[in-house]
Amino acid sequence: MVTPPSLTAAPDSPPASAGAVGVGAPTAVPILASPSFSPLYQQIKTLILRSLQNGEWRPGEAIPSEIDLAARFKVSQGTVRKAVDELAAENLLVRRQGKGTFVATHAEEQVQYRFLRLASDVAAAAVPGSTHREFLDCRRLPAPADVAAALHLRPEDSVVEVRRVLHFTGQPVVLDDIWLPAHLFKGLTAERLSEYRGPMYGLFESEFGVRMIRAEEKLRAVSADEGVATLLKVAPGAPLLSVERLAFTYGDQPVELRRGLYRTDRHYYRNELS
Amino acid sequence: MVTPPSLTAAPDSPPASAGAVGVGAPTAVPILASPSFSPLYQQIKTLILRSLQNGEWRPGEAIPSEIDLAARFKVSQGTVRKAVDELAAENLLVRRQGKGTFVATHAEEQVQYRFLRLASDVAAAAVPGSTHREFLDCRRLPAPADVAAALHLRPEDSVVEVRRVLHFTGQPVVLDDIWLPAHLFKGLTAERLSEYRGPMYGLFESEFGVRMIRAEEKLRAVSADEGVATLLKVAPGAPLLSVERLAFTYGDQPVELRRGLYRTDRHYYRNELS
DNA sequence: CAGTGGTCTAGACCACACT
DNA sequence: GTGTGGTCTAGACCACTGC
């Protein structure tokens, strides 16, 4: 008999000082959040996540080195490493050997358009050839019921509604309707959207401090109604790919609902299964 | 000066005995495949992959314990662990604490329909409610040019062509045309397909030794032609989701081309972005 | 050169599953 | 209890980047 199973409270466990708990002896003493066991590296991961959320490190910046983090959390470098590994696997951090570990961003070089899965039938490269964004509308309005439900808003909350068209090589391909919680995006206008160079999520990061972490999409095939047909320059009734996206920021909080209609006569939506 | 950079040939490196290379001293001595450096755990990963491909361990079976593998490859348990971790992340292996590490399979409990991304608008659960598979056709024929190209076959090779309809809760939802290299699927008939309980890829594993590892899909919206409309019980011209899948086995070898048409009036194709 | 992430080892202990 | 994967540590060395 040593310790009761699945409850390994250290006899001399110190009061939770800064969050994580150190080890006294050469043996690890994981802190226990109570009945549910949580490994040390998971707790470290949560702490790093919190710092990311708090904006302690901004997108694109380097976070402290593993050695520094290990000292700060009073754990071994290997434990920090495992936490960072998982955050990198979730695309929240980016490791660069010899340089450091950086906060992921949508507003950067290669990994642009992380969430856009459209590819061209002809162009070998992805989409970014000659892209043009046309913003048709940007207004504040009370949240429609379905939008409020998806974004976890109250019926009296308001949202920003954006409508835009994406053109590739001169052709309209994507029509997006986008809803954002108005209280998070004060001052968002069609003009600022038009002026900004780079992906929309980059602007959201730098101007509003809202970082898109992950998203869920629901795809369907639909027929173009007349208004949509005109905007996308297809015949009424033409088949379009409907992509409904719910995007989340830290803590699985939904912060964007997007309903897109894609022309798929010259492009396709690519996906990888494994 | 110790060793020339990026070329760390061990002075006493033994001839590649069984594959991996041991360490003489308490210090690791990674073998080098030549100019391109490859960490030890990557080499171990390749060796495990080879054993999987050779069928040394069958789908669903347990592979040797980490300790055994470490002894076999003459590396530390930690190095084996990292190799296995990556293979588990790629869904080739499944770790089960306390029990062992198992070869992933499509023919098993929960993880069934790993590659089917359809979800129902109503049913909370995924699809597997009341599913019925109807096989319309299964024949051998010379590979059409596009199919041959996708599957890396020569024009004179032949393929097995399968046509089937998937029904959920009594309704036809999916029409699939499937092409398989005939030389890998000798003896595949509509009857055997109908008799088999469980996912098609499960039958491919157990009966033909072909394991689907990953797949690429291209999605588009299309209009139903008359033949398809009849089979899926929709109006001609109705929008359908077109899903073209190329599935790969070990070594990125393509072994299945599938063209699916999905009704998306009561179901949708779900996807996760991160 | 120093600093960063990346690899590897050896050993201890914990959580889980079976018998 | 035994054996499995899971966690944690400490220390050594390697590879890459930039001063």
Listed in sequence order, the residues at least 6 apart from A17 whose beta carbon sits closer than 8 Å to its beta carbon are: none
- Report chain D positions within 7 A of protein CB atoms: 3-18
Q: Are A102 and A246 in contact (CB under 8 A)?
A: no
Query: Which 3-state string (H, E, C) describes A172-202?
Result: EEEEEEEEEEHHHCCCCCHHHHHHCCCCHHH
> Cα–Cα distance between A73 and A221 in angstroms, integer?
50
Contacts of B272 in chain A (CB under 8 A): 214-217
Nucleotide nearest residue A80, measured CA to C1'? D8
Write out pLDDT tens, residues B113-132: 899 999 999 876 555 667 89
SS3 A266: coil
Q: Are A112 and A70 in contact (CB under 8 A)?
A: no
Nucleic strand D interface residues, CB < 7 Å:
A 23, 26, 28, 30, 39-42, 75-79, 82, 96-99; B 2-3, 5-6, 8, 27, 37, 63, 65-68, 78, 81, 95-101
pLDDT in tens, chain A (274 residues): 333 333 333 333 333 333 333 333 333 344 443 456 799 999 999 999 999 999 999 999 999 999 999 999 999 999 999 999 999 999 999 999 999 999 999 987 666 789 999 999 987 655 566 789 999 999 999 999 999 999 999 999 999 999 999 999 999 999 999 999 999 999 999 999 999 988 999 999 999 999 999 999 999 999 999 999 999 999 999 999 999 999 999 999 999 999 999 999 999 999 999 9
C-alpha distances in Å from residue B125, one per residue of A142, A230, B110: 33, 38, 12
Global pTM value: 0.87
pLDDT of residue A200: 95
Whether A117 and chain B come into contact, CB under 8 Å, resolves to yes
Nucleotide nearest residue A25, measured CA to C1'? D9
Contacts of B219 in chain A (CB under 8 A): 219, 241, 264, 268-271
Contacts of A115 in chain B (CB under 8 A): 273
